[in-house]
Amino acid sequence: MSPRPPENPHHRFDAVLRLTREGRFAAALADAERELGEGGDGEIAAGALAEVARAALAGGDLDSAVRALDRALALRPAHADLHYRRACVLLRMKRGSEARAALNRALEINPRYVAARIELAQLDAREGFLGEALGTLRELSREAPLGESEDFRQGIGRLDRGEWEEAQTHFGRAVESHGDELRRRLQRSEALLEGEDFARALTELHQAIAEHPAYPDLHARLGRAELQQGYWDDAAASFGRALELNPSFHDARVGLATALEALGMRAQAVDQLTLVLEREPAHAQARELHARWGGPQPRSAAEAPRPKTT
């Protein structure tokens, strides 16, 4: 059986986060670039850059926020949340057409992304498609738990009256409330993992998934925790579910490959890594594992044979 996978270097970007807390966003981005030049885990790097963007947006430095998100998306182009965050910054910058493209991309990746659907509906309303926007929001109120929120209902009413700013405030509170418990649960799970209380950490993650079953990131997060514990079969199932929800989730596919290799299924693991590298040749972890396990040189998507036409 393969050895337990090495733990991720969670603290490599501590200096980036410190500079971010000090409001030195340009310096934080420069430090992140230095760390990225040394390789490493793109998921951790993307998370650090997303935090830079969040703080820069809150501090009014919209240019730094966009730069951080652009860099994060270069590392992880299939993350719906990064596209959504970028759209929110672009909306603040009055770049509506780019924001629409970013929201559409987020929804291509995760069609059930509640916050992106709300933001796109508000953009539709501002651009004259009020009927379509209200239809989307009323449909969403029947599908998503936040449809029971008083703020959500107030937001629809305000939008119907053309009160854009008031509607945005209500929708923002509804989305924030919807995500608060999830954020608290994930923070608890991270703290429990760091404290090596793995049973309770896994319980928190399972509960988060029960409440948000359509979030591929949650299934992948559970898979990583299961890998950490050596629960190879469970990890393979968790990563597989993440990929059912988002087939372009390359980090989940690398996780699946790691679990398969640990189960003695190296050929299948290499196949999964090859799929990643055909679509994202620069994926550092996939490249490193692929070389270590001796897989054949993968072709890029552009080199794949085209179907014959008659």
Q: Where are the domains of the chain?
A: 1-106, 214-297
Residue 51 tokens, joined: 């935090």
Residue 35 tokens, joined: 């760390």
Work out the angle at residue 108's Cα, subtended by the Cα atoms of residues 106 and 127, and round it to the nearest 5 degrees: 65
Please name the residue that has the structure tokens 């990064």. Answer: 82
Q: With 90 as the cut, is the pLDDT of residue 267 above it?
A: yes
What is the rounded CA–CA span in Å between residue 193 and residue 47? 18
Q: With 70 as the cut, is the pLDDT of residue 256 above it?
A: yes
Rg (the chain; Cα; Å): 21
User: What is the mean predicted confidence (pLDDT) over 250-275?
Assistant: 93
Binned at pLDDT 50, 70 and 90, residue 1 comes out as very low
Composition of the chain by helix, strand, coil, percent to 5: 75, 0, 25
Q: With 80 as the cut, is the pLDDT of residue 178 above it?
A: no
110 with 216: CB under 8 angstroms?
yes
Residue 78 tokens, joined: 């299939």
Q: Which fold has domain 1-106?
A: 1.25.40
Q: With 70 as the cut, is the pLDDT of residue 122 above it?
A: yes
245 with 110: CB under 8 angstroms?
yes
Q: Does this chain's domain 1-106 share its CATH topology with 214-297?
A: yes
Mark 181-202 as b/e (b = at least 16 C-beta within 10 Å): eeeebbebbbebbeeeeeeebb
Q: With 60 as the cut, is the pLDDT of residue 39 above it?
A: no
pLDDT at 79: 83
Q: What is the CATH number of domain 214-297?
A: 1.25.40.10
pTM: 0.61
What is the rounded CA–CA span in Å between residue 224 and residue 43? 12
